[in-house]
Structures are given as C-alpha cells and as structure tokens.
C-alpha cells in the first residue's frame, strides 16, 4: 500500500520554505514596531473552548472541527483558529494587567474539515494578531494599517481592504429579527444551506457565495443602516482614521464573517488573484469574548491571514540564493577521505556553507554535482593535493582556479568569497 498525505493537507517543501521564512521574518519585523509579541499556543484544546467562542451555529463548529476523544475520555479538538486559544491563555495567565493593551501574534497550523479545493485546505497556516484591552477605534485602525504595511513590504499590490460594522449587543438583536423576517418571505429563492440556517444564523445569508442568495442579499436590510449611536460613532471614527492613515478601503455592508464572536468593526482583505476563495485575511473587534470565557471585561481586536493564500500572491522574482552552498568539496580517492572530512568540518565551524559528495565518485561526476548545487567555489582534494598540502579552489563563475594552503583554508577561502 502506498501511503500518501491526507486530502487537503500539504507538504511545504525545502525548495519553497524560504518564501515562508521570509514572510514570517517580515511579520516579526513589522509587528514588533507596533508592540506585538509572539505567543505559541497549543495545537489542541478542550473542545468546549472552540464551540463556546466560535459559536455553536457556525460552519466551523457544526461540521468542520477535528474532534476526538483521547485515551482518558476527554473531548479534544485540533484548533480550527487561534483567537479562542489566545483568549484562553490571556485569562489563564492573567495577562490583563500590562501597562497598556496586551498585543500578541501567533503563527501556526489550523485544522478545518472543509471540502478541499484551490486555496482551501484542511490543514492550513495562519498568522494571527490579537490586541486585547482597549475599545478605542484607534486600535482597530492601527492593526489594519499594520496589516497593510505588512502587505506592502511583501510587495502585494492588488489586495483590497473591505470593512463593515456588525453593531453591538444593543442594536444587533433587533437587526437579526428584522433580517429573519425579510428572509422568511424569500426562502424559495435561497440555497438549501441558507434555508436551514437562517433561523439560527440569519446574518450568514448575507455573505453566502451562491449566486441566487447573493441576489437576495443585495436587497436585504443592511446592518450599517441599523446601528445604535455608539456603534455608529465607532464606525465613523474608524473610517476617519483610515482616511487619515491614507489606507484605501471600501465598505461592504454584506461582510459578516464566519465566526460568531465579532461586534462593531469586521474586515477582510481580498485579492482578485485568489479565485473563489478570495479572502487572504479576516478579522475584527470582539469585545465580549474574554468575559464570555470567564475573564474580566476586555475589548479586543484582531485578525488572521492564510499563509498559503498569502505566499501564493507574492510576486517572488529571484530564486533563493541563500540556500546555495559557498563551497562544494570534491574529494578524489581514498587518501582524500579523512582530509576532506576535516576540511568540511573546519569550514562549517568557521561559518561557511559546505556541500559535498559522499560517494567519492569520479571527478566528472562530482563536478557535475558541484555545478548543480550552484555553489560559488569548488574545493578540490586529490592525492597530489594531499601530498603537496595545496588544495585547488575553483571559482564557478569564471572557472579561474588557484592553489590554497591546506593549513590556512579558512582565511584563504574567506579572502576569495564575496
């Protein structure tokens, strides 16, 4: 039986990992400017953490969680997202007394049992950010502009920021009832999924991807027309600050997000180049979640982006030359075995990237491998070189070669390397 990876689960191979590492390093750099520190959260948690925070009627909790019973009989779930875990950690470690807002980010795999297709995986990576402890619209906008700065640094050109307000506990329940009433009169025009869920989660009808539902959604009442004063004020301040920050955005009144914990600002960044799964990032404000999970009242704002989708959008031009060896060691004959081993060891200890052929095949075959490795230099050790104590260093760019003293390998090669 040939074993293969699970459907919707991908290997990230050494030849592409440099792209991921670069994106992650840019995230570290930009996020630290805004005071965010990394947190590493567990891959699995108590199932109740996710069902309570993401919402019992969401697609994720209803049908996408990888839930299993462990040997002790506890129900555990592979994390489908990171926010719930960060909130759990925040409460568990009493992180609510920093001098200012508690700002954290995380990078890692998430798991959702979705139907795999281009851009939609069952194990996918997210970079997520959570700012915890302030209701200020300035936090919403700082986090969104940080994201745009991050995308800009990555060379992303065609991404679009879409925002909406989902209101608060004062205005959303009334809007939900209004929406339900409107939808009820048009059930025959909706997809089966929407018909089934509109009673429990009518807002999801607004962002259903099925064409006929989108037609209905276009004429349904919009939440931004039913905001109370507080939500209205918050939303207009967010827009004002985005304008001051020169961050282009559009208001999408049907943007509702697929997780239940949001209130007030919700946003997504989409890209035309992603096809039907066009959201590269999503997030928003969640002011009640910490309290709902038994922590103190803590207004929060955050987002998560899909790393596979993000990496696929970046216009990488060059090959990764960082991975190329500085030196390829060509060792010929029995006599070169130990000196070759020593030379590689010594050079690596001194910080050079050294590759070699372990089979000690013919000169021709080893030179072919050296060429393929894209090394800058080959260091050649044959019987003559061992006897004379002078090894041959060949520059692979111009084929020039010269002898170097075996006793001063590190310093002589250091002089030649650019």
Point out which residues bind ligand HAM (CB under 6 A): 81-83, 112, 114, 120-121, 124, 126, 128, 130, 258-259, 279-284, 286, 302-306, 308-309
Pick between residue 143 and residue 386 the one whose CB is nearest to ligand HAM. Answer: 143
Q: Are 19 and 311 in contact (CB under 8 A)?
A: yes
Minimal distance, residue 112 CB to ligand HAM, in Å = 5
Structure tokens at 242: 């985005």
Pick between residue 172 and residue 394 the one whose CB is nearest to ligand HAM. Answer: 172
Minimal distance, residue 1 CB to ligand HAM, in Å = 28
Pick between residue 306 and residue 325 the one whose CB is nearest to ligand HAM. Answer: 306
Q: Are 65 and 77 in contact (CB under 8 A)?
A: yes
Closest C-alpha to 31, from 408, 393, 305: 305
Pick between residue 130 and residue 287 the one whose CB is nearest to ligand HAM. Answer: 130
Pick between residue 52 and residue 180 the one whose CB is nearest to ligand HAM. Answer: 52
Pick between residue 108 and residue 221 the one whose CB is nearest to ligand HAM. Answer: 108
Q: Partners of 356 in the beta sheet?
A: 329
Instruction: Mark 57-82 as b/e (b = at least 16 C-beta within 10 Å).
Output: ebbbbeebbebeeeeeeeebbbbbbb
Minimal distance, residue 394 CB to ligand HAM, in Å = 46
Structure tokens at 332: 């010929």
Minimal distance, residue 300 CB to ligand HAM, in Å = 7
- Residue that is written with structure tokens 């798991």 in the block: 111
Q: Are 66 and 109 in contact (CB under 8 A)?
A: no
Phi, psi (degrees; rounded to nearest 5) at 380: -110, 125
Q: What is the CA radius of gyration of the chain?
A: 28
Closest C-alpha to 402, from 369, 377, 383, 382: 377
Minimal distance, residue 259 CB to ligand HAM, in Å = 6
Q: What angle do CA 10, 153, 353 make, to 5 degrees?
A: 65
Pick between residue 142 and residue 357 the one whose CB is nearest to ligand HAM. Answer: 142
Minimal distance, residue 222 CB to ligand HAM, in Å = 21
Nearest residue to ligand HAM, using CB? 306
Minimal distance, residue 214 CB to ligand HAM, in Å = 19
Q: What angle do CA 403, 406, 410 make, to 5 degrees?
A: 95
């Amino acid at each position: 039986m040939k074993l293969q990876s699970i459907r919707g689960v991908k290997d990230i191979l050494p030849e592409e990992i440099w792209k991921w590492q670069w994106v992650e390093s840019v995230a570290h750099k930009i996020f630290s400017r805004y005071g965010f520190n990394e947190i590493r959260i567990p891959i699995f948690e108590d199932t109740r953490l996710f069902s309570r925070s993401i919402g019992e009627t969401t697609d994720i909790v209803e049908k996408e969680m990888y839930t299993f019973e462990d040997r002790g009989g506890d129900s555990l779930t592979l994390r489908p997202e990171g926010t719930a875990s960060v909130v759990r950690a925040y409460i568990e470690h009493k992180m609510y007394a920093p001098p200012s807002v508690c700002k954290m980010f995380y990078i890692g795999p998430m798991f959702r049992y979705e139907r795999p297709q281009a851009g939609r995986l069952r194990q996918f990576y997210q970079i997520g950010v959570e700012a915890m402890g302030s209701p200020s619209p300035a936090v919403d906008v700082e986090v969104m502009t940080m994201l745009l700065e991050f995308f800009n640094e990555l060379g992303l050109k065609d991404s679009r920021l879409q925002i909406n307000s989902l209101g608060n506990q004062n205005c959303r329940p009334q809007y939900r009832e209004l929406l339900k009433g409107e939808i009820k009169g048009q059930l025959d025009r909706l997809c089966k999924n929407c018909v089934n869920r509109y009673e429990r989660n009518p807002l999801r009808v607004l962002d259903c991807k099925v064409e006929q539902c989108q037609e209905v959604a276009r004429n349904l009442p919009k939440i931004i027309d039913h905001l109370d004063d507080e939500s209205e004020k918050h939303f207009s301040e967010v827009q004002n600050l985005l304008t001051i920050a020169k961050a282009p955005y559009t208001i999408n009144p049907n943007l509702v997000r697929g997780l239940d914990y949001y209130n007030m600002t919700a946003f997504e960044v989409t890209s035309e180049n992603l096809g039907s799964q066009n959201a590269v990032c999503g997030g928003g404000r969640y002011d009640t979640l910490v309290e709902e999970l038994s922590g103190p009242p803590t207004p929060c704002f955050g987002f998560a982006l899909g790393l596979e989708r993000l990496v696929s959008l970046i216009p990488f031009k060059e090959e990764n030359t960082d991975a190329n060896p500085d030196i390829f060691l060509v060792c010929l004959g029995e006599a070169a075995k130990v000196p070759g081993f020593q030379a590689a060891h010594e050079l690596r200890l001194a910080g050079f990237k050294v590759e070699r052929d372990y089979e000690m095949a013919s000169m021709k075959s080893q030179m072919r491998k050296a060429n393929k490795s894209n090394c800058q230099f080959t260091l050649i050790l044959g019987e003559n070189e061992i006897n004379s104590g002078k090894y041959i260093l060949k520059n692979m760019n111009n084929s020039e070669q010269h002898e170097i003293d075996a006793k001063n390998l590190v310093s002589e090669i250091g002089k030649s390397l650019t």
